[in-house]
Amino acid sequence: MAKQIVAGGSELMRTSADRSSELMSIFEQRFSARLRRDFTDEVAVAYDRSPLGPHDDKTARVVRALGNASVTGKEIILNLGPNGPWGIGRITVGAPGNLVLLPSTFYTYENALREVFALRRKNFLES
């Protein structure tokens, strides 16, 4: 274990958990920076053109990252009828059912996907 000198000259033992936490923080910073670089207007256009895929590598990487993001605050598609229309809800802890229904209605699943992508992009780029 590495020793770390803190204010006052006392020693503090650095644990493997400290190192794991440090590495996770570095990974998250680098991942976020790469995702910001990849999240271009070209990726948005490619997704709008074909929301169900197939996607090029950069678009697929962005879509996968958005899908794997934290559930809280995430927009999801809701089926409002047997074959549509579709709505969008936002997972909001503390709201009734932990879900807030957004006002828009979509008559194609692809348009609902496009709107979810646009909302997630906006939220990601503003964070």
Domain boundaries, the chain: 1-37, 39-126
Whole-number Å distance between alpha carbons of 24 and 40: 25
More confident residue, 115 or 84: 115
Task: Tell whether the model's pLDDT for residue 83 goes beyond 60.
Answer: yes
Per residue in 48-73, pLDDT tens? 999 999 999 999 999 999 888 888 89
Tokens 């809800």 belong to 89
- CB atoms under 10 Å from CB of 66, counted, come to 20
Average pLDDT of span 117-125: 91
Contact by Cβ (8 Å): 51, 117: yes
